[in-house]
Amino acid sequence: MRAAALLCAAALALSGCGLKPLYSGGAGGPVQTMLAGVQVAPIEGKSGWLVSNALRDRLQAGDTTPRYRLEVQLDDSIAGLGVRSDDSVARERRALRARYQLVDLSSGGVVLDATAGSDAGIDVVGSEYATIAAENTALERLSGIVADQIVARVARFARSGGKPAAVPASAGATGQ
């Protein structure tokens, strides 16, 4: 009985919290409609190709005329972290950072300017092939993570009615 009372109290508290589904309305909702009208500008390099494809997959651009252009500049770096007694690198960190701008094609103005990024640790092993394969796998994973961050930020922009949404200070510090 006590558990049921607590459950009811929790349900009442959550109903007034003001949370709203981001993608409410489905394919015809304001967020999905706006995302379908975003074209991704070409991005240089292998990491750019991976991020560009991940963005296109997530945006699911339709046959509509694009209303926005997403311009992305990437910084992909690998740094050695751990050092063995023979001065060889034992661990690497691959970091992928993106600065992106959402440009309104009708006015040419930048309506959203933000950053995203993530990093991954890589073990450096005796086989050069295995290390290169691990670096490539890390890049593929990081490309998806960065694309997810970008689409989530653009979706929040769309949810706010095309006005830049306030980003909490803690989210800005992590590059999201």
Higher pLDDT: 57 or 171? It is 57
Question: Is residue 150 predicted with pLDDT exceeding 70?
Answer: yes
**Residue 114 within any structural domain of the chain:** yes
Tokens of 61: 């651009």
The domain of 48 spans 22-173
For the chain, the domain total comes to 1
**Residue 118 within any structural domain of the chain:** yes
pLDDT-wise least confident of 21-30, 61-70, 133-142: 21-30
**Residue 152 within any structural domain of the chain:** yes
**Residue 67 within any structural domain of the chain:** yes
Report the CATH number that the domain containing residue 156 is assigned in CATH.
Answer: 3.30.160.150
> pTM surpassing 0.85?
no
> How big is the CA angle at 134 (ends 130 and 137), to the nearest 5 degrees?
135
**Residue 28 within any structural domain of the chain:** yes
Say how far apart CA 50 and CA 44 lie, in whole Å.
Answer: 10
Question: Is residue 57 predicted with pLDDT exceeding 60?
Answer: yes
**Residue 5 within any structural domain of the chain:** no
Q: For 82-135, how does the pLDDT look when each residue is reduced to its tens digit (9 = 90+)?
A: 888 887 888 999 999 999 999 999 999 999 999 999 999 999 988 999 999 999
**Residue 17 within any structural domain of the chain:** no
Contacts of range 123-132, beta carbons closer than 8 Å, 24 or more positions apart: 123/90, 123/91, 124/80, 124/82, 124/88, 124/89, 124/90, 124/91, 124/92
Task: Judge whether 65 and 37 are in contact, CB under 8 Å.
Answer: yes
